Chain A
Amino acid sequence: MMTIETIVFYLFAALSVFAGLRVITARNPVHAALFLVLAFFSMAGIWLLLEAEFLAITLVLVYVGAVMVLFLFVVMMLDVDLVQLREGFWRWFPIGALLAAVMVGEMIWVLGNRQTAETGAEVIKHAADYSNTKELGRLIYTDYVYPFELAAVLLLVAIVAAIALTLRQRRTAKRQDVAQQVAVKRNDRVRLVSMPASARVSTQAQPDEAAASDQQKH
């Protein structure tokens, strides 16, 4: 019997499979990134069906809102050479397709060859006023505190690695040294030039004078 939940599930599932396929087949990388957004959205729908409201909203906020925007930004900034990417695609396509077909066949053979619809472990049902945000908040700092801390260490590793891989101190680079700027003395910048008072102004002296007055301004 098809309940409304089953129909919605198949709708979202089909949508996410379609979006996933388009991510890898779309010619334009920007389109591929947008299809990935669609895939995230439809997965968020499935999570809602599983009563994981908080995670579904987080998926949309974090992945669609933050990660994918950055992703799109990078894709647009990079000059991706599509012709070079596609080079050799058709040469390797037959063997790739053959392997994929074998794998799909094996999976169907293993999973499809069953008389009765088998299910997984028992699913725990919750009351309508069950707050999974509250539950997650409680579990993450109690039962799951060890994995939580490990995830924090993982982020620290990512920071250290990103800095170690990208920070390069170039000796030729021109940059300001604030300490030097603050510690500067008047004598370092200003040169007082005594000019002969009676001398006739010549065309040659003018640039010198301009330079001297320029220096005094600093």
Chain B
Amino acid sequence: MSFLSTLYSAYAEIFLLVMVSVILIADLFTAGRTKTVTYLLVQVTLLGCSLITVATHRDGIDHLFHHMFVDDLMSDVLKLLSYMAISMMLVYSRSYLLARGLFSGEFLALVLFSLLGMMVMISASNFITLYLGLELLSLSLYAIVALQRDSAIATEAAMKYFILGALASGLLLYGMSMLYGATGTLDVNAVSSAIQHGVPNKALLVFGLVFVVAGLAFKLGVVPFHMWVPDVYHGAPTAMTMLIGTAPKLAAFAFVMRILVEALQPLMVHWSGMLAILAVLSMALGNISAIAQTNLKRMFAYSTIAHMGFLLVGVLSGSNEGYGSAMFYAVVYVIMSLGGFGMILLMSREGFEADKLSDFKGLNQRSPWLAFMMLLLMFSMAGVPPTVGFYAKFAVLNAAVQAGHIPLVILAVLFSLIGAFYYLRIVKLMYFDAPESHERIYMQPDSSLLISLNGLGVLILGILPGTLMSVCAVSVQQSLLLPH
């Protein structure tokens, strides 16, 4: 067996890294402000990655690089969805970024580097690779947010993101070092079996766990570690906000699964309580603060906090159904927020940001189809049937009920009801208010097709959620090898 064929499961990562290097060099030799060649190369790379990931899929769990890298069904599914999210994000944001002079070769390269970071996180089975993937993702994102240097607010957002991200990494590393001290290993599976066989120092273990959970909470942006989320979402250019708010959430979900479920499953009694507090606080603060916002990006930021709280409810149920529904929730959240931010990008034009609630007034009179798509997306975020957002919330709550977290479920439903107010307010603004401007909305054909697919997808997935739900359930079940 040749050396290259032993790397079979990591072909997608290797291909991506080679292609980023090619793109970085090719970009120097392609003239033109629109960067069409580079853009197409990036899309081809994403397509190639998807094909490779599908072609190299094998049943079962495959470890590589001395147990540092894992390839299982969950990682393949999450990677495919990440490629899709990045590809959609580029289609939506291309004309927005071109109008602002931000669509550079470096931007595209950094986006692909952040994708590589996500893939490393998704496929990590060692604390070192988990951490390196996280840093690869975060460093690329800090730079991407800071790319708009003329804007003071974007620079401030990048600084806040960077400093709080560094703090979170510090907490996470501190926690990991404690776990290493207690178990003597950094391998995810070895940590789990070491704890099961009994470690001499339980206090050190729990102490490390607290720091790991705090670090994870920072990265997910849940209360009380959420301070950076509204400022970064608001301050960054909308396309960058879309990048931060979509695909990385899938990687963050994988991170939580690898570290809390795969490595620290024996400590579930400890972490499920911590997650419950984080979840309730996030759903409360996220949904209530979102009501007071007049800026749509800021409102989405608070809504993200609430959604991440909901996702944690699924994880803390601690059953296969819970993990499967949390994965389903993460996927659905990514699809919904791609549509939501995509709508802001479509309505914006050169020198104008459509990121205020008032910009959506009377959208029905200006473009009934766009208004209908926005209505579907808002219904889905609020959890109104028959959209997919309803089913995602239902699946999470169902798993939590089965695990016996009845008070948590009641609180979650209450806060979702509060949250429905600000989503439905946008629907009211679009259909029942008079428009403030009658400016024509110029749309590129590719992004207008995509927003239609996105909006209808939310509806169709809501009517027929079975396939996606079973994909999530099966991949979690096959990847974690938990007792049923």
**A residues engaging B (CB < 8 A)?**
107, 110-111, 114, 118-122, 142-147, 150-151, 153-154, 156-158, 160-161, 163-165, 168
Is B15's CB within 8 Å of the partner chain A?
Answer: no
Which of the 9-residue segments B84-92, B202-210, B332-340, B352-360 touches chain A? B202-210
Interchain CB contact (< 8 A) of B110 among A121, A150, A157:
A157
How far, in angstroms, from A114 to B129 measured CA to CA in the complex?
34
A119 to B143, CA, bound (A): 42
On whether A164 and B147 interact (CB within 8 A), knowing A146-B65, A157-B113, A157-B140, the answer reads yes
Partner of A157, one of B139, B146, B149, B203: B139
A111 in contact with B24 (CB, 8 Å)? no
In the complex, the chain B residue whose C-beta lies closest to that of A114 is B203
Q: Of B132, B180, B201, which is within 8 A of A154 by CB?
A: B132
Bound-state CA distance A147–B127 (Å) is 10
The answer for the CA separation of A144 and B132 in the assembled complex, in Å, is 12
Judging by beta carbons under 8 Å apart, are B129 and A120 in contact? no
Contact B116 A153 (CB under 8 A): yes
Write the B193-219 contact mask toward A (1 if CB under 8 angstroms, else 0). 010000111011011000000000000
Q: Which residues of B contact A153 (CB under 8 A)?
A: 17, 113, 116, 136
Which residues from B are CB-within-8-Å of A150? 120, 129, 132-133, 136
Q: How far is the CA of A161 from the CA of B117 in the complex (A)?
A: 15
Task: Compute how far the CA of A50 lies from the CA of B289 in the bound complex, rounded to whole angstroms.
Answer: 50
- Closest beta carbon of chain B to A39's beta carbon, Å: 15
Q: Which residues of A contact B136 (CB under 8 A)?
A: 150, 153-154, 157
Closest chain B residue, CB of each to CB of A164 = B106
In the complex formed, the residue of A with least CB distance to B201 is: A118
With A121-B183, A146-B69, A146-B129 known as contacts, the answer to whether A161 contacts B17 (CB < 8 A) is: no
Residues of B within 8 A of A156 (CB): 113
Q: Are B203 and A111 in contact, with the CB atoms below 8 A?
A: yes
Q: Closest residue to A145 on the B side, CB-wise?
A: B65
Say yes or no: is B385 at the interface (Cβ < 8 Å to chain A): no
Contacts of A158 in B (CB 8 A): 139
A-B contact sample (8 more), CB < 8 A, given A161-B142, A165-B143, A168-B149: A144-B68, A145-B65, A156-B113, A157-B113, A157-B136, A158-B139, A164-B110, A165-B146
Given A144-B128, A146-B129, A120-B184 contact (CB < 8 Å)? yes
Q: Are A161 and B207 in contact (CB under 8 A)?
A: no
CB of B104 within 8 Å of the partner chain: yes
Contact A164 B143, beta carbon cutoff 8 Å = yes
Q: A121 and B203 in contact (CB under 8 A), knowing A150-B136, A164-B106, A164-B147?
A: no
Asked if B24 and A118 sit within 8 Å, CB to CB, the answer is no
Tell me, yes or no, whether B135 is within 8 Å of chain A by CB.
yes
Q: Does B107 contact A (CB under 8 A)?
A: yes
B33 at the interface (CB under 8 A from A): no
